[in-house]
Amino acid sequence: MDAGGEKGRRYTTMALGVVVAMMFCFGFAIAPLYSLLCKVTGIKAAATPAAAPAVVAAPGAAARAPVDRLVTVKFDTNVTDGLPWEFRPLVRRVEVRPGEALKVSFSVRNLAGQTVVARAVANVVPWQATPYFSKTECFCFQEQSLAPGETREMAVRFLVSRDLPEGINSLTLSYTFMTRVPVSPPAGRSGMAVGQRPQPAAASAVAGNPI
């Protein structure tokens, strides 16, 4: 079964040698080939968050006509452990056309017997939709202070980009109110030596940006 004897062996050896040379070149060609693939198929532009938000952030984005398609936006509210606030959305979900700005409100109530300061952190799920979701006006942009027993309505105005990928038909905007430790003048703060470890409470008070 010596296919072609000496000649056959030489042919097989040569063919394999060519494969080796090609694979060596492939190592160097892999990056340009990937760029080419991305350009042709548009994989990277659709998949990389960094590539997308420019469209959303553009000032003219809101002015562009809404797309004729409905996206469900759900609202989720949380408070961190130990924060005596009641926090709930006034509407659980809305249907919105991408490109159309909308305003929704939340109700927040302080259950404690003292003034409490807290700040909300927003989060969009699924994360792939994050670059296509922008808030033009939001209570989460600054700290909120509520007097004992006070109830307040807080609003957010948001916009889902027209460029929201086809696959995403529903997204959730989740807010979490984070505690701000009540400001009390930290004892001995001014006299603290360099390198001395601040107490945890004092540390968070210093870290929190006083407004």
Partner 1 sequence: MSSTTTTHGHESGHHHGPPRGWRRWLLSTNHKDIGTMYLVFALVMLLLGGAMAMLIRAELFMPGIQLMEPDFYNNLVTNHALIMVFGAVMPAAAGMANWMLPMMIGAPDMALPRMNNMSFWFLVAGGVMLVLSMVVPFLPGGGTPVNTGWTLYPPLSVQVGMSMDFLIFTVHLLGISSILASINIIVTIMNCRAPGMTLMKMPIFAWSWLVTAFLLILIMPALAGAVTMLLFDRHFGTSFFNAAGGGDPVLFQHLFWFFGHPEVYVLLLPSMGIVAQIIPTFARKPLFGYGSTVGAMVTVGTIGMLVWAHHQYTIGMSLAAVTYFMIGTILISIPVGLLVFNFIATMWRGAMTFETPMLFAVAIILLFTFGGLTGVMLAVIPGDIQYHDSYFVVAHFHYALIPGALLGLYAGTFYWLPKWTGHMYDERLGKLFFWMVMVGFNMTFFPQHFLGLAGMPRRIVDYNVMFTEFNMLSSVGAFLFGAAHLVLLYVIVKCVRGGAAATDKVWEGAEGLEWTLPSPPPFHSFTTPPLVR
User: Does residue 183 belong to the site contacting partner 1 (CB under 8 A)?
Assistant: no
Which residues between 24 and 63 bind partner 1 (CB under 8 A)? 24-28, 30-31, 43-44, 47-48
CA distances from residue 80 to 24, 177, 198 in whole angstroms, order as listed: 56, 6, 23
The nearer residue to partner 1, 14 or 155, going by C-beta atoms, is 14
Which residues between 110 and 149 bind partner 1 (CB under 8 A)? 128
In the complex, the smallest distance separating the C-beta of residue 185 from partner 1, rounded to whole angstroms, is 39
Residue range at the interface with partner 1 (CB under 8 A); choices 13-21, 89-97, 176-184, 191-199: 13-21
**Please, which residues bridge with residue 123 across strands?**
174
Rounded Cα distance, 175 and 24, in Å:
52
Residue range at the interface with partner 1 (CB under 8 A); choices 21-29, 60-68, 133-141, 155-163: 21-29
The alpha carbon of residue 171 and the mean position of all alpha carbons in its chain are separated, in whole angstroms, by 12
Q: Centre a 10 Å sphere on the Cβ of residue 189 and count the other Cβ atoms it contains.
A: 12
Burial class (CB in 10 A: 0-12, 13-18, 19+), 94: middle
User: Does residue 170 belong to the site contacting partner 1 (CB under 8 A)?
Assistant: no
Question: What would the two tokens of residue 44 be?
Answer: 């990277």
In the complex, the smallest distance separating the C-beta of residue 166 from partner 1, rounded to whole angstroms, is 14
Residue range at the interface with partner 1 (CB under 8 A); choices 4-12, 61-69, 87-95, 137-145: 4-12
